[in-house]
Chains A and B, each alone.
Chain A
């Protein structure tokens, strides 16, 4: 995701807001079309404020942003009404809370953020950020160890090795750097960082404080809950932090086991398998569903398995639950008891695994303890805070709780850092008096294995189900990285891009990529979905040659849409 969008300061924008809507209406009779996205809307509506500021920074959720110190549009505002201490209090300074806070300041809201632990939340401290550091190492290790790959470049490399502590330090240093960038950006904008656990006492009233040191009670016009999640540990599994660990421990890389079992083959498990196998471990996956990588488009999953699992030192047990995991002690290895996920019987022939370590990557559970939800009559559902499509919290009677919103992992809509940030921005838009609904189908997701996997929108089975229900036709187009010049130059021809679209309208329903830099490539597709761009239009967009982005270029060009270009070039520009 890229954060730099430059807006022309000249009053003539090539596309005006009304043009845009017309385009939509012309080719999109269906009401569930993606009418707008936050970014575009924001960009145009805030044009007025450009006059007062020399710098305009559209708010996009991205880690790259943390590296910038913003010239604030204005300092943290004074409350519009003196009745409240703050216009907005955000509970949780993770990526979601941070994104919301930045946008709130821009909108002139007096904002505070309550954090009971460290600024940055899971993503920065125990998630996406440090794991990217480990994956950067594993990617290089993998390349250096692949003699065949090196030879095909004509390179000679002596045996590659690594220093575990050095690798661990890299991850840790990255996390602290991003954490301080994040803290500084909040401070620079004048957001008050209130340390302690935040508890809602009543609507518009909350307290915070560290255990024992007394609480402070404050009032706020609006409250956003952004408390995130913690690793989920199914019952029967004893986590000792040494031989049986969660991602929290694994990211510290305190040891590299010879053989590690990874329970769960989603994003987290898959990324760690990439790290561990590159560092020399053997891996056994334990997956409750019948196939590995259950969240991915099946075709992508199949290819990914062929590249990321089969040739590596990995085996797997699918359709099984790990009912009991005992850490290594008294000279015995880690013991894992398995049962068949369907019959609940011990799985034959092997019902117990003995390994050096086990990583529990079964997902994440929302963290809402101590939030005081009972004070506003809210009951969590499987731990999640129930919300409507505008992130407004719903109480036990199914009614909206005024002035309380919940974003990110705590609401469980889409457990991704950037989704949380986008939800936060959406809430701030509403608080500033503009209705806004975030289109979750335009939010991309990525798995940073080598090569990477990325996706946006619907998978093929989901799209098929939807098309049958709603009675439209779908088509699938695919291109291979094998035909891409840049990929071949890098000797990374393994990969596939897949487009699921409506041949009648050219609407993009989903894009899935497996291949080199897939995580960076997906944004052309996610932006197209967010902006409602059609296949027949985007295929005329020019891509630099030779680049990996031509994989998507070819993908769009290979799609067969029955309508012609909906919006020919509006104006001839002589060059």
Chain B
């Protein structure tokens, strides 16, 4: 068992220190050559004889906080217990190298302690240098805040100062801190105009959890980080740009999609009739997207299994409505506005709806149900001349359709006559737990029939 509370000290002081245990020395000077600056590294302590790495449970102090001898600075979880780690030096916590919830091997630096304010900047530089060398997961760059230079103990201790009357609920405050949302810039929609957790979640781009009474902020399961990620070759001069929230969401969804067993079925569809129809209805504001969405929706009506979802690996969930999500690229991001009840709306309404959705998406004003309620996704790269591609099935849906460009193709009919017809390749990716090959084939056949005889689309 480790002693109840540990302290860290510096090896600069060679004289005896009133320490409980010699093993508690885990703060050493940054470098012996620079004598003037006393920036000390705070090391992951060995809390037990069997401990090889420790997890930071929480930093009791924040960057910029003044520390005085004997104060608890950080809580470390070992294989046996959580221990408070105390400082044996006065100083300023200049930088946190290993954040809460992250793990570091015993003896590796977890934070930097500066002796005075002047050294904070240097310590920070040191910390960011450390970050770049270390595995990406363990080292989020310390936020380059100007305010740390002020470094009065009170400056960092209180939550954002409310200049006007900004009322923020306790959980909203926590979320804002977690997602780095400035509550002063939000407009509260809660009772009495206060800022609710939902407001913060919206600002952070998170769809609110279904279970909003969920408590205990469990550390989110860390995304599967490539082990030994540090071994990627560093190419000089490269710039690292963090994901935007939207990009992070895409990334998360894509990684999640790997857990679903998918397969793909392609189908050539003749489009001469569709093209002719399109020319006719185009002046009335009908878009190709609306035509394809309508056709897909009509085919789905006949093949409800393709519109179903497998949520738990054991059941089919047959969706009551057919909501066609259409993937669109938007300023470096990707979003899927949803045409709800696409089977029930007529082409013109659908086209109008689509126009609205695209405008909202550009203005970043889509409501969650306008981008996350899809039951089937349509992705069309035909306008770029792509003739075929396959799509990744988004989590929570049964199938996604990838539409290629329509182009003139030489066709031999059963009598041996050649002709040239426009054909496009349609490729559907589906969840094989619920949708089988024959299902997709039948669905595509229906879809192809609708496209080749498109009169029904206008009804």
> A residues bordering B, Cβ < 8 Å?
141-142, 145-149, 156, 159-160, 258-259, 277-280, 282-284, 299, 302-303, 306, 310-315, 332-333, 349-350, 354, 356, 476, 478-480, 482-483, 496, 558
Contact = CB atoms under 8 A, between A and B. Distances in A.
A284 B213 contact: no
Interface in B181-211: 190-192, 194, 197, 210-211
A483 B162 contact: no
Contacts of A149: 216, 218
A349 B191 contact: no
Q: Which 7 A-B pairs have the closest CB atoms?
A: A313-B171, A315-B170, A480-B81, A280-B213, A148-B218, A311-B217, A282-B170
A120 B169 CA distance: 38
A159 B216 CA distance: 15
B75 A306 contact: yes
29 contacts: A145-B214, A146-B215, A147-B211, A147-B214, A147-B218, A148-B216, A156-B312, A160-B213, A258-B191, A259-B169, A259-B170, A277-B215, A278-B213, A280-B213, A282-B197, A299-B4, A302-B84, A303-B82, A306-B57, A306-B58, A311-B218, A313-B215, A315-B173, A333-B191, A354-B167, A479-B1, A480-B80, A480-B81, A483-B80
B192 A354 contact: yes
Contacts of B194: 354
A154 B161 CA distance: 44
Nearest to A302: B84
B456 interface: no
Contacts of B158: 349
A411 to B, nearest CB: 36
A350 B158 CA distance: 11
Contacts of A299: 4
Given A142-B216, A310-B58, A354-B192, A282 B84 contact: no
A299 B191 CA distance: 38
Contacts, number: 89
A482 B77 CA distance: 10
Contacts of A303: 82
Given A149-B218, A483-B80, 20 more contacts: A141-B213, A145-B214, A146-B215, A146-B216, A148-B216, A258-B191, A277-B215, A278-B215, A282-B170, A282-B171, A284-B170, A302-B72, A306-B82, A313-B169, A315-B173, A349-B158, A354-B192, A356-B191, A478-B4, A480-B80
A156 B312 CA distance: 10
A311 B215 contact: yes
A550 to B, nearest CB: 15
A398 to B, nearest CB: 44
Contacts of B81: 480, 482-483, 496
Contacts of A479: 1
A350 B338 CA distance: 43
A314 B170 CA distance: 5
Interface string B8-40: 000000000000000000000000000000000
Given A159-B210, A282-B170, A354-B167, A312 B191 contact: no
B174 interface: yes
B212 interface: yes
A280 B213 CA distance: 5
A282 B169 contact: yes
Interface string B172-183: 011000000000
Contacts of B1: 478-479, 558
Contacts of A333: 191-192
A496 B2 CA distance: 14
A328 to B, nearest CB: 10
A263 to B, nearest CB: 15
A333 B194 CA distance: 11
B399 to A, nearest CB: 25
Contacts of B217: 311
B100 to A, nearest CB: 11
Nearest to B213: A280
Interface centre among B4, B216, B218 (most CB of A within 10 A): B216
Given A145-B211, A482-B80, A315 B192 contact: no
Contact of B174 (A148, A160, A315, A496): A315
A279 B211 CA distance: 12
Interface in B381-419: none
Contacts of A354: 167, 192, 194
Interface string B140-168: 00000000000000000010011000010
A146 B216 CA distance: 7
B62 to A, nearest CB: 14
A280 B191 contact: no
A349 B161 contact: yes
B213 A145 contact: yes
A147 B217 CA distance: 11
A214 to B, nearest CB: 52
B196 to A, nearest CB: 8
Interface in B213-236: 213-218
Given A303-B82, A354-B192, A482-B80, A280 B212 contact: yes
Contact of A311 (B4, B190, B213, B216): B216
A146 B80 contact: no
Interface centre among B161, B171, B210 (most CB of A within 10 A): B171
A279 B213 contact: yes
Nearest to A142: B215
B195 to A, nearest CB: 11
A312 B210 contact: no
Contact of A283 (B80, B170, B192): B170
B170 A159 contact: no
Contacts of A332: 192
B211 A350 contact: no
A357 to B, nearest CB: 12
A2 B427 CA distance: 71
Nearest to A349: B161
A480 B80 CA distance: 7
Contacts of A480: 80-82
A496 B57 CA distance: 15
Nearest to A141: B213
Interface centre among A141, A279, A349, A558 (most CB of B within 10 A): A349
A479 B2 CA distance: 10
A478 B80 CA distance: 12
B451 to A, nearest CB: 41
A278 B216 CA distance: 10
A283 B174 CA distance: 12
B211 A159 contact: yes
Contacts of B218: 146-149, 311
B174 A313 contact: yes
A146 B82 CA distance: 21
A278 B213 CA distance: 7
A433 to B, nearest CB: 48
